[in-house]
Amino acid sequence: MKRLSILFTVIVLMFALNNTAGAQGPLTVDIHGPGQRLVNIVLLPPRGLDNAPVPEAAAKAFEELVANDLGYIPFLNIVPVNSLLGGDPSSGVNATDIDFKPFQLARVDLCMTTGWNGEYIEARVFETFSGRRVVGKSYRDVADKLPLVADRFCSAFLEALTGKKGFFDSPIAFVRQDGKVKEIYTVLPQGRGLKRISDLGGFNLGPAWSGDGSQIAFTHIGKNQHELCIYDGKTQKIRRIAKGLGDTVISPVYGPGDTLYASLNLNGTTNIYELSKSYRVGKRLAGSPYIDVSPSFDRTGSKMAFTSGRAGNPHIYLLDMKSGQVSRVTTTGKYNTHPCLSPDGRYIAYTHQTGDGHRIFLHDLESGREKQLTFGPGNDEYPAFGPDGYFVAFASNRTGEYQLYLSTRHGDKPRRISTGKGGAFAPAWDTSLQW
């Protein structure tokens, strides 16, 4: 059995391809770092199923939605079907309907088919060197749900390649400047599905998702006080809590068991506290006489990154939740803040002040190595990991007004996320596994 191994990384990845149709095992992609070449994919023309005609407008719209989603994946390159020798080499949607030789000659690794009838759509991706199906899904009642179907299929496709779910249907909460007030919104990373969460006036800041993605906690700063606010996605109502939380309530975040934590000023110093289910103040975490803010947890809740002034200026620290031990993460510069732990707990993305402005840096907790991810111009701040720990959203004023951007933990070229009129900052990604 002949095997072809292709080492590449665009974000680094090792890609093993089997070169015979009888080979076993799915095609996989392990993301490691920069690589030698892209993975090429062709989107084949849509086909009618069961003698049904192809709905041309819907089929074209679906292909455009899929192409847009896949365009966010740095290691994927969409190759036009008309660039293949002889043109479209397919007569249907199954592997037996496809001549894979033109793909092999053109060094195309994957091809996607779509089949339509009046009730459902079928979408598949095949590995061209073996003919194996990488992923296949069927969706019904798609007439008014094409964006959702495209997002879900691309997420399933990315999971089949990398072993991790894609981010396409995982929303981002953020703060948007609406005139003189700041309100909380959510949006999909492709810039679709913009939704206003709060309408409270004043400043609404620091959104954070619960572990199951059903709630968003944030701070409301009104004329007279700070309030902790909890938005319930099911009821779409906001609960406002102020009693017993002191005069400062900032950077709320959900931790292990969806326990809520927040930075409170109860005794003249702002520290991080655990809150009960009834929002009463519990134990203080990483207690110190210095300011401790911006907590961030990994998915297991075993680690908490935070910003502290205990070294004389803001630096990033890590708390082991079991032992209570605190270790310092950043040692260079005089301003390091806004830490975000990757869901797997390996990386911390944070804002670092350089001589050219604020930039996003990445710290690898396993190796201790650090890497600059963004390079301006202007200021880049507020990093937020996606659910796969691979994509990173952040805010930047590189065009004059703060807007949201999307990159990867390898520092690939950022793409702007459309969020409507007004400045946008402080993104927080829904990293739940429920979507």
Half-sphere exposure of 237 (CA within 13 A, CB side): 3
Regarding whether 244 and 350 lie in a shared domain, the answer is yes
Residue 188: closest CA among 433, 390, 420: 420
Give me 294's structure tokens.
Answer: 């911006």
- Structural domain includes residue 434: no
Regarding whether 177 and 157 lie in a shared domain, the answer is no
The predicted structure's pLDDT at residue 224? 86
Regarding whether 209 and 152 lie in a shared domain, the answer is no
The predicted structure's pLDDT at residue 25? 46
Regarding whether 249 and 330 lie in a shared domain, the answer is yes
Residue 12 pLDDT greater than 80, yes or no: no
Regarding whether 143 and 267 lie in a shared domain, the answer is no
Regarding whether 192 and 50 lie in a shared domain, the answer is no
Regarding whether 192 and 130 lie in a shared domain, the answer is no
Residue 229: closest CA among 258, 250, 255, 212: 250
Residue 365: closest CA among 393, 404, 329: 329
Regarding whether 70 and 194 lie in a shared domain, the answer is no
Show which of 162, 185, 218 is a domain's final residue. Answer: 162
Regarding whether 238 and 109 lie in a shared domain, the answer is no
Total of domains in the chain: 2
Domain harbouring 232, CATH code: 2.120.10.30
Residue span of the structural domain in which 411 resides? 172-429
Residue 24 pLDDT greater than 50, yes or no: no
pTM of the model: 0.87
Regarding whether 204 and 156 lie in a shared domain, the answer is no
The predicted structure's pLDDT at residue 118? 82
Regarding whether 176 and 114 lie in a shared domain, the answer is no
For 361-406, the pLDDT digits (tens) are 999 999 999 999 999 999 999 999 999 899 999 999 999 999 999 9
The predicted structure's pLDDT at residue 5? 34
Residue position matching structure tokens 């195309």 = 108
Section 277-305 average pLDDT: 94
Helix 56-70 and helix 146-162, axial crossing angle in degrees, nearest 10: 40
- Structural domain includes residue 112: yes
Regarding whether 275 and 375 lie in a shared domain, the answer is yes
- Structural domain includes residue 167: no
- Structural domain includes residue 15: yes
In sequence order, the β-bridge partners of residue 407 are: 392
Q: How far apart are CA 214 and CA 229, in angstroms?
A: 14
Show which of 108, 140, 162 is a domain's final residue. Answer: 162
Q: How far apart are CA 343 and CA 346, in angstroms?
A: 8
Show which of 97, 132, 162 is a domain's final residue. Answer: 162
